[in-house]
């Protein structure tokens, strides 16, 4: 450019002296000198900014000092003018230089560089290749990427994967398989500990990047958790965090079953209990109460409730939530019986009904009309513990409404000297019913007979009527015995059940006169706790109101199932859940005379946990060995206890992923698996699922949909990024074949300039044209 300018000045000087020919020759020379400077217009010149990214994942930590020296030397090298550098660090995310080291390698985080307009040059990545190449090439253009091989690290022997059974029966034989490897040829010593005892040891000659397997067979001798620890020792090993792993095996004795039954009934005739005890795999513990906490259910494989009424179970309705929640999380529950189970046992509208395969009231039952006849005398002002009697009375009335079903109707009738009017409202108008209960207030003296007579006079004969009388029983009127008997006879004639809840533990003559006159129904009274026990007494009364669901078969010649007579002593009528799957209603029975609907006898349900319902007593002539009932119940118990104490999955570490592998003879699920941590194991192909990482927990539950597959005691493995250290040669070879520049040093690296922005127009042709024109004009002047 300087020569062109000097020649142009000389041409101007010659023109000034009127030496035109010479001036044109010099001007032509100036144009050709300008041509060498590549004249152009347009575009915006800018500095090229490259970025050096250092892989600081766990597998690179052992080379930290050498890596820092290498990158410092790389940046200290003189680079062409117009080229600048920035620094980043990469592990599980892209971070500024100087950030902490460690973690997994996630090449996808480099996408941020592709999207950063300030980084317009090349990306120089220092890595060991312990990541996914496809992820890297998706994040960055191969033409823009330079892979710089890291300096060699120290020798390292590593535990790469551990595989073994997660559950064994006591006395069972298992095999622990451990894969080990090294980044150099080296000698290593391995040891296996069963608990604190060294069980095996040996030596290995490891070759660089070649995986070897060590197998150890063991016997699960004691019930509980068996911890198998594997260690690896090699001279000069530069990374100690990947030299040990622990595998945990749950060693089960027999399947632990809590069998909850009425302790007042001898065990000798309990055929269901005998059936469970006959299986040597079962450890059956008999209780006369229900478990009420997660601690009591820990380690339990199944709970069986056999004719144990809620009132005898030691639990309240609210206390059943612990068992129900256990089933929702994978537990196994069976309810069997009639008089002490389902609705008659007091379990209707409880948390247990929600996890069973049956509804505890037949769907074709006639709608009920229930009158809540509530004593609102002046005594309701008195205290009952920290509350008033009236407050507890309102709670009791609300509980009755909770017990009703859609289609039922209720009337809230408070009384003292007089009774409120009887007005039935459907349960769909629950808010209005609740408001009527809220408006109940104490009044004056009590006239029980007058109130009951008014209610009876308002009922329509022939309906499904029931009166629930809640009172302290202290009657303020002088009704005669004959008058009470007349009321009892009226209840009988109307077919109206009269259930009475006495809020004082005192015998009342009028109650006896009503019953002796034929008034149907049950009476429940509070215990020594007085009025404060009203809710417990009410629950007993509500359970008693379900006694009509019991059928002994005497009115219709017994029961048949599949055309065969089934000599049941008692059946509790229920109905299948609407969402019950085909095939889960295992047995139905009908009246022997062929009249009426079919009733469920045996049903099952699978959720996260499993449940079974048997709607008859576990004793009697139907329990003939080898008979249809015993065969069906045996099959249902097999369903209930399937997989209890058995392992179906194993955790396997592959070169680039963790897998759950199906090892059971059962067919594997064909969908993703869910962990109780919320993580997902993605289905790769049949029987194999991919996990991102082992949860940092001692135990995790694995689900297929809502079905519990297995509870797994988790192994303690080396960090995933430390299973393989040293460079992955296959990674670099594959990268080079895909157009990525791979270098071992920076001496020969020539950084590429970033393309200029805007429209770039070259003007060399114009300079050449002007030069030729000047020369031709000069020759023309000379010839003149």
Q: What is the pLDDT of residues 606-658, one digit of tens each?
A: 887 899 999 999 888 888 877 889 999 999 998 998 777 666 787 776 655 67
Question: Which of these three, 517, 545, 573, is where a domain ends?
Answer: 545
Position 492 pLDDT exceeds 50: yes
C-alpha–C-alpha distance, residues 742 and 403, integer Å: 75
pLDDT bucket at 782, cuts 50 / 70 / 90: low
Report the distance separating Cα 340 and Cα 322, nearest Å.
20
Instruction: Tell me which of 617, 641, 665 is where a domain ends.
Output: 641
Selected residue with higher pLDDT from 332 and 537? 332
- Residue 29 forms part of a structural domain: yes
Q: Does residue 187 sit within a domain?
A: no
Of the three residues 481, 513, 545, the one that is the final residue of a domain is 545
| Cβ 150 vs Cβ 128: under 8 Å | yes
Question: Do residue 423 and residue 480 come from a single domain?
Answer: yes
Closest CA relative to residue 274, chosen from 290, 286, 262: 286
Going by C-beta distance under 8 Å and a sequence separation of 6 or more, which residues neighbour residue 595? 556
Are 434 and 503 members of one domain?
Answer: yes
| 522 and 448 together in one domain | yes
Span 368-381, average pLDDT: 88
Residue 764 has pLDDT above 80, yes or no: no
Whether this model's pTM surpasses 0.75: no
Same domain, 6 and 86: no
CATH of the domain at 616: 3.40.50.880
What pLDDT, on the 0 to 100 scale, is given for residue 654? Answer: 66
Cβ neighbors of 625 (< 8 A, separation 6 or more) are none
Same domain, 380 and 487: yes
What does the pLDDT average to over 513-532? 85
Among 15-29, 231-245, 507-521, 548-562, the minimum mean pLDDT is found in 15-29
In a domain, 125, yes or no: yes
Query: Could you tell me whether strands 94-96 and 83-90 are parallel, antiparallel, or unpaired per DSSP bridges?
Result: antiparallel
Q: Report if residue 565 sits inside a domain.
A: yes
Q: CA 358, CA 440: separation in Å to the nearest integer?
A: 36
Is 140 found in the same domain as 99? yes
Closest CA to 446 of 531, 377, 386: 377
- Say if residue 536 is in the same domain as residue 590: no
Per-residue pLDDT tens over the stretch 682-722:
999 999 999 877 776 667 888 888 777 777 777 777 877 77
For the cut 60, the answer to whether the pLDDT of residue 324 exceeds it is yes
Domain that residue 29 falls in: 2-43+759-783
Q: Is residue 214 part of a domain?
A: no
pLDDT digits (tens, 9 = 90+) for 375-406: 998 888 888 877 888 888 898 899 888 888 88
Considering the domain architecture, whether residues 539 and 609 belong to the same structural domain is answered as no
In angstroms, the CA 588 to CA 579 distance is 17
Q: How far apart are CA 142 and CA 22, in angstroms?
A: 56
Reported as a single tens digit per residue, the pLDDT across 246-280 is 998 878 767 889 999 999 989 888 999 999 999 88
- Whether residues 670 and 695 share a domain: the answer is yes
Alpha helices in 557-706 (DSSP H): 628-641
In a domain, 155, yes or no: no
Give percent of the chain above pLDDT 90.
Answer: 35
| Cα 234 to Cα 156: distance, rounded to the nearest angstrom | 8
pLDDT at 758: 44
CA distance 106 to 104: 6
The 10 Å Cβ neighbour count of residue 353 is 20
Domain containing 421 — which CATH number?
3.40.50.410
- How many distinct structural domains can be found in the chain? 5
Shared domain check, 656 and 636: no
Select from 447, 459, 450, 523 the least CA-distant residue to 491.
459
Let me know if residue 227 belongs to a domain.
no
Same domain, 628 and 651: no
Residue carrying the six token digits 């000389």: 10
- Please indicate, yes or no, if residue 360 is contained in any of the structural domains: no
In the chain, what is the straight-line distance between the N-terminal and C-terminal CA atoms, in Å?
33
Q: What is the pLDDT of residue 759?
A: 46
Q: Is the same domain home to 564 and 430?
A: no
């Amino acid at each position: 450019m300087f020569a062109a300018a000097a020649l142009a000045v000389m041409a101007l000087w010659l023109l000034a002296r009127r030496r035109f020919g010479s001036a044109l020759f010099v001007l032509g020379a100036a144009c050709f000198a300008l041509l060498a400077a590549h004249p152009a217009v347009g575009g915006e010149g800018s500095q090229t900014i490259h970025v050096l990214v250092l892989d600081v994942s766990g597998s690179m930590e052992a080379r930290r000092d050498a890596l820092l020296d290498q990158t410092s030397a790389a940046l200290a090298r003189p680079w062409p003018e117009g080229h600048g550098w920035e620094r980043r660090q990469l592990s599980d995310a892209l971070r500024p230089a100087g950030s902490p080291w460690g973690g997994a390698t996630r090449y996808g985080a480099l996408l941020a560089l592709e999207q950063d307009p300030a980084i317009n040059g090349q990306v120089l990545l220092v890595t060991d290749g312990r990541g996914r190449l496809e992820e890297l090439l998706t994040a960055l253009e191969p033409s823009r990427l330079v892979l710089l091989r890291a300096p060699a690290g120290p020798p390292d022997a590593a535990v790469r994967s551990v595989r073994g059974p997660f559950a064994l029966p006591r006395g069972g034989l298992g095999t622990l398989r451990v894969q080990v490897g090294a980044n150099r040829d080296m000698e290593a010593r391995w040891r296996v500990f069963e608990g604190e005892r060294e069980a095996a040891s040996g030596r290995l000659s490891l070759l660089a990047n070649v995986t070897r397997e060590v197998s150890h067979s063991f016997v699960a001798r004691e019930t509980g958790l068996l911890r198998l620890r594997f260690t690896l020792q090699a001279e000069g090993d530069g990374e100690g965090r990947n030299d040990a792993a622990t595998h945990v095996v749950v060693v089960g004795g027999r399947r632990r079953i809590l069998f909850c039954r009425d302790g007042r009934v001898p065990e000798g005739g309990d055929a269901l209990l005998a059936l469970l005890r006959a299986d040597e795999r079962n450890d059956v513990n008999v209780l006369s109460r229900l478990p009420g906490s997660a601690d009591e259910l820990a380690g339990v494989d199944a709970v069986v409730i056999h004719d144990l009424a809620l009132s005898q179970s030691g639990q309240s309705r609210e206390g059943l939530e612990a068992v129900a929640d256990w089933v929702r999380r994978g537990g196994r529950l069976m309810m069997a019986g009639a008089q002490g189970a389902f609705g008659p046992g007091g379990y209707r509208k409880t948390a247990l009904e929600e996890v069973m395969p049956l509804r505890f009231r037949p769907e074709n039952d006639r709608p009920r009309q229930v009158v809540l006849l509530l004593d609102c005398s002046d005594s309701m002002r008195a205290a009952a513990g920290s509350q008033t009697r009236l407050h507890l009375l309102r709670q009791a009335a609300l509980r009755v409404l909770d017990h009703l079903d859609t289609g039922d109707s209720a009337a809230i009738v408070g009384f003292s000297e007089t009774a409120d009017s009887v007005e039935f409202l459907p349960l769909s108008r629950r808010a209005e019913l609740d408001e009527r209960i809220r408006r109940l207030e104490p009044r004056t003296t009590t006239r029980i007979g007058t109130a009951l007579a008014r209610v009876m006079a308002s009922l329509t004969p022939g309906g499904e009527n029931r009166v629930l009388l809640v009172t302290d029983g202290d009657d303020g009127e002088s009704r005669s015995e004959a008058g009470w008997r007349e009321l009892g006879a009226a209840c009988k004639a109307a077919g109206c059940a009269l259930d009475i809840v006495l809020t004082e533990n005192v015998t009342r003559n009028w109650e006896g006169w009503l019953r002796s006159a034929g008034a149907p129904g049950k009476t429940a009274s509070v215990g020594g706790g007085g009025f404060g026990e009203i809710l417990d007494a009410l629950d007993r009364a509500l359970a008693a109101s379900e006694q009509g669901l019991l059928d002994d078969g005497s009115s219709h010649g017994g029961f048949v199932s599949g055309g065969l007579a089934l000599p049941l002593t008692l059946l509790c009528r229920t109905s299948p859940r609407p969402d019950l799957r085909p095939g889960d209603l295992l047995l139905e029975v009908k009246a022997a005379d062929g009249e009426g609907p079919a009733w469920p006898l045996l049903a099952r349900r699978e959720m996260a946990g499993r449940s079974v319902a048997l709607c008859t007593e576990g004793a009697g002539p139907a329990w003939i060995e080898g008979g249809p009932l015993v065969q069906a119940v045996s099959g249902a118990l097999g369903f209930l206890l399937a997989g209890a104490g058995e392992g179906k999955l194993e955790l396997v570490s592959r070169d680039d992923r963790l897998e759950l592998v199906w090892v059971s003879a059962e067919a594997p699920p064909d969908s993703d698996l869910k962990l109780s941590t919320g993580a997902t194991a993605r289905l790769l192909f049949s029987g194999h699922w991919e996990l991102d990482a082992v949860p940092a927990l001692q135990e995790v539950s694995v689900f297929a949909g809502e079905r519990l597959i297995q509870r797994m005691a988790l192994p303690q493995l080396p960090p995933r990024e430390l299973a393989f250290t040293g460079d992955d040669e296959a990674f670099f070879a594959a990268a080079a074949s895909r157009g990525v520049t791979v270098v071992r040093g920076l001496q020969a690296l020539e950084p590429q300039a970033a393309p200029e922005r805007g429209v770039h127009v070259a003007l060399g042709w114009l300079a050449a044209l002007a030069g030729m024109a000047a020369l031709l004009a000069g020759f023309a002047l000379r010839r003149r």
